[in-house]
Amino acid sequence: MRVHFLGVRGSTPAPGGDYVRYGGHTSCVAIAHDDQNTPSLILDAGTGIRRCTWLCGDGPFRGTILLGHLHWDHVHGLPFFRAGDRDDARVDLFLPAQGDGASALDVLARGMSPPHFPIRPDELRGEWTFHGLAPGEHQFEGFTVTSREIPHKGGRAYGYRVSDAHSTLTYMSDHCPSDLGPGPDGWGEYHPDALELARDTDVLIHDAQLVAEELAEYAFYGHSAAEYAVQLGLRAHAKRVVLFHHRPNRTDDELDQIALRFAADQRVTLATQSLVLEL
């Protein structure tokens, strides 16, 4: 599979000259099969999804979007995704089933409809469908996807494990393991669902909005320390760990300093929104 990082920030976009090298768009990862030029599976729809349009060339997006959760930084790109908002597009969108009886469309429309936004999700052009997704194993666009609930503040959140016949990718963009206690290292518990999703994966893409010394002040907002992400990858025998969902005020130079913390571990990479992985 071919993995395109299109948005790697958390919480809010980060415009300006201090954020150019790593990129300022919020969470979006697009995945294509080896024999396809365009992605057919998109993980999250932050502002980075706008950049998926150029991957589609002059054509429409025809595929599936999986939302890890519904916070603004993971959905704000939807109405600005031009390849998905055209008459010949086909988009099947899945979000974590909320358990309150509300339809996926109605849940998504709470933040995307007047007076908050000019149109509703079902007014996007093309063939759009909206679904709630339960934890379990699913088939999307020729990929096998395992969804599991992971702790994150303010609503149900999923991590995803995506596999084809050759490779496996794990995506946990927003994860607050300290909600379950300090764990053995003081960074949060290594709970079974997180370990299951990451077990023997080729690439673990993981929330690293914080570093260890920031947890006491900022874990309240629902995020992981980079040290936790790296250690989770080690415990799960992940072949590579990509640190993701960077703090919006973390400059390029500051992210370089975080990269230096892990420079001795060749498995660890900091995500940039120009990163492309061939698995």
Residue 274 banded pLDDT, cuts 50, 70, 90? very high
Question: How does pLDDT run across 168-223, given as a tens digit for each residue?
Answer: 999 999 999 998 999 999 999 999 999 999 999 999 999 999 999 999 999 888 89
pLDDT at 151: 87
Query: CA geometry: angle at 95 spanning 68 and 79, to 5°?
Result: 90
Q: Which residues contact 173 (CB under 8 A, 6 or more apart)?
A: 10, 27, 43, 44, 68, 74, 205, 206, 207, 244, 245
Q: Residue 149's domain is classified under what CATH number? A: 3.60.15.10
pLDDT at 165: 87
pLDDT at 101: 82
Q: Counting Cβ atoms within 10 Å, is residue 69 exposed (0-12), middle (13-18) or buried (19+)?
A: buried
Question: How does pLDDT run across 52-73, given as a tens digit for each residue?
Answer: 999 999 899 999 999 999 999 9
The tokens describing 60, both together, are 């429409």
CB atoms within 10 A of CB 211: 20
What is the C-alpha to C-alpha distance for residues 91 and 45, in angstroms, rounded to an integer?
12
Q: Counting Cβ atoms within 10 Å, is residue 233 exposed (0-12), middle (13-18) or buried (19+)?
A: buried
* pLDDT higher than threshold 90 for residue 10: yes
Please list the alpha-helical segments (H only) found in 15-142.
52-55, 104-109
What is the C-alpha to C-alpha distance for residues 279 and 226, in angstroms, rounded to an integer?
23
Residue 246 banded pLDDT, cuts 50, 70, 90? very high
What is the C-alpha to C-alpha distance for residues 91 and 80, in angstroms, rounded to an integer?
14
Q: What global pTM score does this model have?
A: 0.97
Whether 272 contacts 5, CB under 8 Å? yes
Domain around 258: 2-278
pLDDT at 144: 98
263 vs 153, more confident: 263
Q: Quote the number of domains for the chain.
A: 1
Question: How does pLDDT run across 115-174, given as a tens digit for each residue?
Answer: 999 999 999 999 999 999 999 999 999 999 999 999 888 789 999 999 998 999 999 999
* pLDDT higher than threshold 90 for residue 100: no
What is the C-alpha to C-alpha distance for residues 178 and 176, in angstroms, rounded to an integer?
5
Q: Which residues contact 225 (CB under 8 A, 6 or more apart)?
A: 187, 188, 208, 210, 211, 212, 214, 215
Average pLDDT (227-252) is: 98
Q: Which residues contact 146 (CB under 8 A, 6 or more apart)?
A: 136, 137, 138, 160, 161, 163, 196, 197
Whether 159 contacts 148, CB under 8 Å? yes
Query: CA geometry: angle at 195 spanning 104 and 101, to 5°?
Result: 20
